[in-house]
Amino acid sequence: MDKLYYRLRIYRSVVGINIKEVLAYNFWFWSQIGAHVLLTIAYISFWKALYSERDTIAGLNMQQTLTYIILARIVMPLVQWGYTQEFGYWIREGTISSELLRPVDFQERIYIGHLTRTFISLAQQLIVVGSLALFVFKISLPTDPLVWLSFLISLLLGCSILFCFDWIFGCIAFYSTEVWGLQVVRGSVLLLFSGVLLPLTMLPTELQTIAKWLPFAQSVSVPVSILSGMTPLSELDSIWLQQLVWLGVMFMLSRLMFNFSVRKITVQGG
């Protein structure tokens, strides 16, 4: 019991530090939001132009697609980056050695920080992009609290799956010591196969199959489809089950991969 209390106390400060870190870079934050909003306007206009001459594309009508797109834009900043850069930094600067010496589990601590950032970012995006959707584009967001709750659970699972994947992916940096290239590959694959650019059902079937076997869709397409009403709530059981299986596998692999590859580290000058 005491031990649990001790851990909770540590995590409370991890959460606090992450909140402070996010809020410290105010100017940069607004700039990012500004650029994101501009791009969102461009996207929405593109899709509106696309629908101006027809009622459905790939079986989706304009309202469905626009709702999906705007919600995907809200989720996108949450999943964009991953942890390759951090892994590179920890190794290059050698801070990994002191990180590993701390009395709490390394991955767990980073994960708590990651979730804090994710949900702050979600709140910010909901406020900014959400009001853009409501007031400028007149796109109605769902009002049923049950749908929102299901979305949040699915998003939490999806972001955890992606986190474990990024952990595995980041471990490659132990071998390659090259992170920019890894980042680029991850970013491009995510762009196409996560569903941030378009509803995945619009992709050709072969690409849809690939998307299904990659973890990226779990964090964007799956939760956003629930929230935009494309996935009926009756399918939730099987979706959550799938996500839990994904999470279980990814988590095990991430532990194995990290414990295995951490032995490879050479800290320069350490």
Partner 1 sequence: MLRYLKLYWYFVIQRFKILMEYRLNFFIGSISTVLFQGASLVALWAVLRQVPSIQGWTFEQILLIYGLLTLSKGINHLFADNLWVVGRDYIRPGQFDRFLVRPINPLFHLLADRICHDAIGDFIVGLSLVSYAMVQLQLPINLASIGFIILMVISGGIIFIALNLITAATSFWIMDSIAVTNVVFHTNEFAQYPLTFYHRSIGVLLTWLVPYGFASYYPASYLLGHEIGWMAWLAPLVALVCIMIAYKVWLLGLRNYGSTGS
Q: What are the residues binding partner 1 (CB under 8 A)? A: 27-28, 30-32, 34-35, 38-39, 41-42, 45-46, 48-50, 52-54, 57-58, 178, 180-181, 184-185, 187-189, 191-192, 197-198, 202-204, 207
Instruction: Assign 208 to helix, strand or coil.
Output: helix
**Angle at which helices 236-261 and 106-131 cross, to 10°:** 140
Beta bridge partner(s), residue 56 = 61
122 contacts: CB under 8 Å, gap ≥ 6: 74, 75, 78, 155
| Closest separation in Å from C-beta 184 to partner 1 | 4
For partner 1, the closer of residues 139 and 198 by Cβ is 198
**Distances from the Cα of 242 to the Cα of 13, 24, 207, 215, 222, angstroms:** 33, 38, 20, 11, 11
- Confirm if 15 and 116 have CB atoms less than 8 A apart: yes
C-alpha of 42 from chain center:
22
Which amino acid, 153?
Answer: I
Which amino acid, 44?
Answer: I
Question: For 264, what's the count of Cα atoms within 13 Å in the CB-facing half-sphere?
Answer: 12
For partner 1, the closer of residues 27 and 175 by Cβ is 27
Burial of 79 from C-beta contacts in 10 A (0-12 / 13-18 / 19+): buried
For partner 1, the closer of residues 91 and 197 by Cβ is 197
| Closest separation in Å from C-beta 203 to partner 1 | 5
| Closest separation in Å from C-beta 112 to partner 1 | 28
Q: How far apart are CA 262 and CA 2, in angstroms?
A: 30
* Cβ count within 10 A of residue 202: 16
For partner 1, the closer of residues 6 and 180 by Cβ is 180
- Confirm if 107 and 255 have CB atoms less than 8 A apart: yes
| Closest separation in Å from C-beta 86 to partner 1 | 19
For partner 1, the closer of residues 112 and 215 by Cβ is 215
| Closest separation in Å from C-beta 228 to partner 1 | 17
Instruction: Assign 60 to helix, strand or coil.
Output: strand
